[in-house]
Amino acid sequence: MVQSEVIKVSNLDLTFETNDGPVHALKNVDLKIDKGDFVSFIGPSGCGKTTLLRVLADLDEPTDGDVTVNGVSPREARETRAYGYVFQAAGLYPWRTIAANVKLPLEIMGYSKEEQLKRVAKVFDLVELSGFEKKFPWQLSGGMQQRASIARALAFDADILLMDEPFGALDEIVRDHLNEQLLKLWKSTNKTICFVTHSIPEAVYLSTRIVVMSPRPGRIIDIIDSNLPAERPLEIRDSKEFIEISQRVREGLRAGHSDE
Amino acid sequence: MAYFWGAIVFWILAWLVNIWIARQNESRVLNVLPPILFGVSVIFIWEASVLHFEVSPVILPPPSAIYFKFISSVPILWGDFVQTVIKGALSGYLMGCGAAFAVSLIADKFKFFERGILPIGNFLAAMPIIGIAPILVMWYGYGWQSKAAVVAVMVFFPILVNTVQGMKMSDKIHRDLMQTYNASYFQTLLKLRLSTAMPFIFNGLKICTTLALIGAIVAEFFGSPIRGMGFRISTEAPRFALDMVWAEITVAAIAGSLFYGGVVLLEKWITFWHPSQRGRV
Amino acid sequence: MNKGSWIGSDNKILPVVCIMTFIVIIWYGFSVVLNAPWEYDKAKRGSITLSTADLISQTWSQKRPKLPTPHQVTKEIWDTTINKKITSKRSLVYHGLITFYETIYGFVFGTGLGILLAIGIVYNRATAMSVMPWIITSQTIPILAIAPMIIVALGSAGFSGLMPIAIISMYLSFFPVVVGMVKGLKSPEQLEIDQMKTWSASKTQVLFKLRAPKSTPYLFTSLKLGMAASLVGAIVGELPSGGGGGLGFRMLSGSTFGNTLHIWSGLFSAAILAGSLIAIISVIQRVVLKRMALES
């Protein structure tokens, strides 16, 4: 029996204690993600989408509820290197070349030198950065730095990719290109991807499912299963189906907004 | 014998308590305990070691002896304190700060001057300025004035460098805004740049509290009336009256901590808006 | 645009030279003023009237001036360095080397101690809470003031020579290193720490691969402060030694015997020593930080 359920969240609740009082970041979140899904989380600031991703990554602890990743707790999943995390900023070390940066998790996880070289070459190819191994981060554009950051997350064998607004700081043209590349990558590696974004077109373009969230307290308003075909050229963004899904997302966001 | 092992046991217990406290959540009350426990256990070990290993009081007196000497010499200690700290260190500190502020305003207005004075100031701030102590004593005599002069020179350069740096720190966006209001140099200075410079200025002020105290005391080694902490130390030490020396050191430590603590409180009051004061670091 | 203007917008050389020239001029002026009373006294006793030209030339060449002129100090330094054997007790180089060794020993041990303490503070909260307040307090204790006593006490216990003075230098230089390194080791951003957490990196791995490299700018700043502090410690430590040597000893003997030229030449040599040591650190700093592409 193939275990196709990769992530399961039930009744998740998270309240932060801050200097300015308690913040109810997540309330009653229920969610199931299957293997190979591309799930986007979209919502305004403070809706908890990043927090949810961080809980999956064991970077934040829930105050209540149950979360399993690959059938185990997020902590065990993290310790067995079940996922790669891509942050909003590339977070590359300026004192290491791009290749050395991508090698960093491999060094930490104890891969052999030959393995490291092999994997670095493979992921450079995947993100189309071959030839830039010996460059330093500050010699690369913002888009290329983010590609390097994605390569780093792909370097070790993790079936899950958690991405927190990775393209948020880039201009739209670069963003379109990276969206296309990400889809290609997803198809060729068949990873399960959780993707947090602000942008409705991006969420609709990339995902098989879209989770619409709203703030105060952070909760899920709607989960939309996309009926777009697997082959998605950029022009699909003008199609009827795309616009319908976008409108449904927009309605969800508005509904969440008017709850306040 | 028993004392010694008792002190060791206390040390271990104190460490365990500290480790436990470290695991708890932040609490004002609990936070005060670890340094106190640590300090107390050090004092116990000190006392017990001196007794147990029969260390000669000429090398290291036990805390108890220091305590007794302290309470029996309060008038002398007070007189020394006033001479060194109030007259020497404090007045020199204020003079040096005032002069440094004045010069940094000049440096701020005249960029040419700033570019020249900054490297020189950085260089001199790293110099063993204490070396001019004998020279200043020669010029100003043995009284507190020469000590104040030494302190003033010692604190001048660090504060100058820090203030000039602070004045450059306001964001371009804020200065542009001031320009749209057609604000004058002095208005911009008072309403914007002084405030943004404050964290840096206080950085310098804090460092200089200890410099001031050291300067005043060491300057007295080179000549002093029969009063003053440096004088007392330099005369009691060769007589091996180390308990008196340590009593003076205790006064110095208390004075230094109060001085530093005072500046920290002032900083909290004036720069309450800065992230480092809001606990957001 | 200041195109090609040699005043430039960032040029430091001209302003520095201007200010230095100004300082030297004022200095010569003050030499006259401060040394004049002695000259007038001497003239009165010899019933001579001094012309202004005489006054100026005399005040600039006294044997025990209250304020020696720059050229007098330079000549004194020249005489006692180039024109004397290094092993002679009259040589400034001899004294300079003694102070140099004390400074370096204290600096090396102080830096080592400082780094170890900083790692302890960053990694162990119990250590941080107990020890940090005392480290700050330790600097409010004017160790310099009790340095003489420490030397005397250690001397009577059998430790003399270089070692006790190096201990004082160590005490003074470890503080800037601890403060700077704690700041530096804590400088990685939350994002970078989270990254490491997602890779399940061990504490040692995080220390060596992230915290240590990121703290290099802070380390160099602290090294410069520590070196300056170590030198001051060495000089003051020499004061009670009564015969050991070194630049502090030189200045003290100058002060005791009224030989002002000794004081000034000793002071200037100490400044030159400090400046050179810090300059060396600065050069290393620039090279290393450039290779690591970190801002200083």
Q: What is the average pLDDT value for chain A, to the nearest integer?
A: 90
Domain assignment present for residue A129? The answer is yes
Q: Which domain holds residue A231?
A: 5-82+159-258
Distance, CA of B130 to CA of C244 (rounded, Å): 19
Instruction: Measure the N-to-C terminal CA separation of chain A; round to a whole number of Å.
Output: 45
Mark which residues 234-263 of B lie under 8 Å from C by CB.
Answer: 234, 237-238, 240, 242, 245, 249, 252-253, 256-257, 259-260
Residues C134 and C239 in one domain: yes
Residues C132 and C48 in one domain: no
pLDDT of residue A194 exceeding 70, the answer is yes
Residue pair C246/C118 in contact by the 8 Å Cβ criterion: no
Please tell me the predicted confidence (pLDDT) of residue B280.
Answer: 42
Residue pair A35/A6 in contact by the 8 Å Cβ criterion: yes
Q: Long-range contacts made by residues B167-173, C-beta under 8 angstroms, separation at least 24?
A: B167/B104, B167/B108, B167/B193, B167/B197, B169/B196, B169/B197, B169/B200, B170/B196, B170/B197, B171/B196
Please tell me the predicted confidence (pLDDT) of residue C10.
Answer: 62
Distance, CA of B226 to CA of B232 (rounded, Å): 8
**Would the CB atoms of C15 and B213 count as touching at under 8 Å?**
no
Query: Which chain B residue lies closest to A18 (C-alpha atoms)?
Result: B280
Looking up tokens 């068949």 gives A190
Residues A229 and A253 in one domain: yes
Looking up tokens 């950051």 gives A149
Distance, CA of C234 to CA of C246 (rounded, Å): 9
Q: Work out the average pLDDT over A100-121.
A: 92
Q: Which of A101, A130, A157 is the last residue of a domain?
A: A157
**Would the CB atoms of B119 and C12 count as touching at under 8 Å?**
yes
Residues A152 and A163 in one domain: no
Q: What CATH number should be reported for the domain holding residue C138?
A: 1.10.3720.10
Q: Work out the average pLDDT over C239-267.
A: 80
A126-135, A246-255, B40-49, C38-47: the lowest-pLDDT one: C38-47
Domain assignment present for residue A87? The answer is no
Please tell me the predicted confidence (pLDDT) of residue A10.
Answer: 92
Residues A148 and A165 in one domain: no
pLDDT of residue A93 exceeding 70, the answer is yes
Residues A41 and A60 in one domain: yes
- Greater confidence, A143 or C9? A143
- Number of structural domains in chain C: 2
CB < 8 Å to A108, chain C: 196, 199-202, 205, 209
Dump pLDDT digits (tens) for B78-129: 888 888 888 889 999 999 999 999 999 998 888 888 888 888 888 887 778 7
Q: Which of A157, A174, A189 is the last residue of a domain?
A: A157
pLDDT of residue A99 exceeding 90, the answer is yes
Residues C196 and C55 in one domain: no
* DSSP codes of every residue in A152-189: HHHSS--SEEEEESTTTTS-HHHHHHHHHHHHHHHHHH
Domain assignment present for residue C81? The answer is no
Three-state DSSP class for A67?
strand
Residue pair B236/B205 in contact by the 8 Å Cβ criterion: no
pLDDT of residue A112 exceeding 50, the answer is yes
Please tell me the predicted confidence (pLDDT) of residue C8.
Answer: 52
Dump pLDDT digits (tens) for A17-42: 887 788 899 999 999 999 999 999 99
Q: Does B110 touch chain C (CB under 8 A)?
A: no
Domain assignment present for residue A34? The answer is yes
Please tell me the predicted confidence (pLDDT) of residue A1.
Answer: 37
Q: Which domain holds residue C51?
A: 13-67
Residues C220 and C150 in one domain: yes
**CA distances for B91 relative to A125, B83, B153, B202, B209, angstroms:** 69, 11, 12, 18, 12
Q: What CATH number should be reported for the domain holding residue A173?
A: 3.40.50.300
What are the residue ranges in chain B where pLDDT is below 70?
275-281
Domain assignment present for residue A32? The answer is yes
Dump pLDDT digits (tens) for A65-81: 999 999 999 999 988 88
For testing contact with chain B, the best of C140, C152, C227, C261 (most B CBs within 10 A): C140
Of C126, C132, C156, the CB nearest to B58: C156
Residues C125 and C207 in one domain: yes
Phi, psi of C243 (to 5 degrees): 145, -5
Residue type at position A30: D
Residue pair C56/C32 in contact by the 8 Å Cβ criterion: yes
Burial class (CB in 10 A: 0-12, 13-18, 19+), C4: exposed
Residues C19 and C144 in one domain: no
Residues C140 and C267 in one domain: yes
Residues A118 and A132 in one domain: yes
pLDDT range class, residue C2, cuts 50, 70, 90: very low
Distance, CA of C52 to CA of A251 (rounded, Å): 95
Distance, CA of A35 to CA of A70 (rounded, Å): 9
pLDDT range class, residue C280, cuts 50, 70, 90: very high
Residues C27 and C139 in one domain: no
Residues A222 and A178 in one domain: yes
Please tell me the predicted confidence (pLDDT) of residue A151.
Answer: 93
pLDDT range class, residue C295, cuts 50, 70, 90: low
Dump pLDDT digits (tens) for A115-170: 999 999 999 998 989 999 999 988 999 999 999 999 999 998 889 999 999 998 88
Residues C53 and C106 in one domain: no
B15-24, C81-90, C260-269: the lowest-pLDDT one: C81-90
Residues C277 and C179 in one domain: yes
Residues A151 and A98 in one domain: yes
Residues A178 and A250 in one domain: yes
- Number of structural domains in chain A: 2
Q: Work out the average pLDDT over C88-94.
A: 80
Q: What is the ipTM of this complex?
A: 0.76
Please tell me the predicted confidence (pLDDT) of residue B155.
Answer: 92
**CA distances for C145 relative to B54, B63, B210, B268, angstroms:** 26, 19, 11, 30
Residues A144 and A174 in one domain: no
Q: Which residues pair with A211 in a beta bridge?
A: A41, A223
Domain assignment present for residue C124? The answer is yes
Domain assignment present for residue C273? The answer is yes
Residue pair C111/C177 in contact by the 8 Å Cβ criterion: yes
Tell me the shortest Cα–Cα distance from A25 to chain B, in angstroms: 19
Residues A175 and A121 in one domain: no
pLDDT of residue C162 exceeding 50, the answer is yes
Q: Which of A157, A178, A199 is the last residue of a domain?
A: A157
Q: Work out the average pLDDT over C235-244.
A: 72
Q: Which residues pair with A214 in a beta bridge?
A: A219
pLDDT range class, residue A208, cuts 50, 70, 90: very high
Residues A70 and A172 in one domain: yes
Please tell me the predicted confidence (pLDDT) of residue C5.
Answer: 45
Tell me the shortest Cα–Cα distance from C229 to chain A, in angstroms: 30
Chains that touch A (3 or more CB pairs under 8 A): B, C
- Greater confidence, C210 or A45? C210
